A = this chain, B = another copy of it.
Amino acid sequence: MKTVQEIRDAIARGEWRKLTAGLAPGFIQANLVILPKQHAFDFLLFCQRNEKACPIIDVCESGRVAPPLAGPKADVRVHVPRYRIYRKGELLDEPGSILEYFNDDMVSFFLGCSFTFEHDLMAHGIPVRHIELNRNVPMYITNRECRPAGIFSGPMVVTLRPIPENRVAEAAAITAKHRKAHGAPIHVGDPAALGITDTQKPDFGDPPEIRPGETPVFWACGVTPQTAVSRAKLDLVITHAPGYMFITDVPDTFEW
């Protein structure tokens, strides 16, 4: 079993350019958003106001490359296998390091993702269908607006997981404990209440397979802050590429 730092070092050397799911089991993986300091207060406030969609794991002060809690020895410029560079909301590049883009004016945000609670669901014997089927989770843009903050606004994006009806309560209780990984479901049942007309046509990811005796359960999704950032069309934004996450030093079991 490699340590988190050994995995990061391999990523920095270019030896791991693949998805990070399953790497460093037991440690939280994080979404990454890096943007100019002038917009950092607005974005931090947006995350604070929309905590279920944007749970903050850690933040680096401008120019800093090591998140003090999530990776005090890490370097945010080289420890993600694939980044995305956006200018004015347009995807410009998907590099394996951001040494040429990062500067002292940039602030890095590390946001929780659903890997953590999915592991816990499976540990309790609750099926997570898209993982069973080796697909991407279905994601939907909802009719619920986030609480805006400064220049940032947008709809809440959610994920759907079909859960056996007799285990919905347990799934809700298990995920509620993971408030830095989107927490409890925001909705159980009728997709129309969220403005979703056809669950078989997700806005992102693969369609769900909902079996007899299962209910669609919806959780807030980390694509929400990405959407808000994209709509703001900033001069420069750097994120991880979907599924190519930052691996933190924080254990799954950390008490926030």
CB–CB B61/A150 < 8 A: yes
Q: Which partner residue on chain B sits nearest A60 by CB separation?
A: B45
Question: Which residues in chain A, 28-82, are within 8 Å of chain B measured between CB atoms?
Answer: 37, 40-42, 44-45, 48-49, 51, 56, 59, 61, 68-69
Q: A147-B69, A150-B61 are in contact. Are A41 and B48 (CB under 8 A)?
A: no
Asked whether A149 is an interface residue with its Cβ less than 8 Å from the other chain, the reply is yes
Q: Report the minimal beta-carbon distance from A33 to chain B, rounded to whole angstroms.
A: 14
Majority DSSP secondary structure for residues of A touching B: mixed
Bound form: Cα–Cα A44–B149 in Å: 13
Bound form: Cα–Cα A149–B42 in Å: 16
Question: Which residues in chain A, 105-164, are within 8 Å of chain B measured between CB atoms?
Answer: 107, 147, 149-150
Closest 4 CB pairs of A and B: A41-B41, A40-B41, A44-B44, A45-B59
Residues of A within 8 A of B (CB): 37, 40-42, 44-45, 48-49, 51, 56, 59, 61, 68-69, 107, 147, 149-150, 256
| New A-B contacts (11) at CB < 8 Å, excluding given A41-B44, A41-B107, A68-B147 | A40-B41, A42-B61, A44-B44, A44-B48, A45-B59, A45-B61, A48-B56, A48-B59, A51-B256, A61-B149, A69-B147
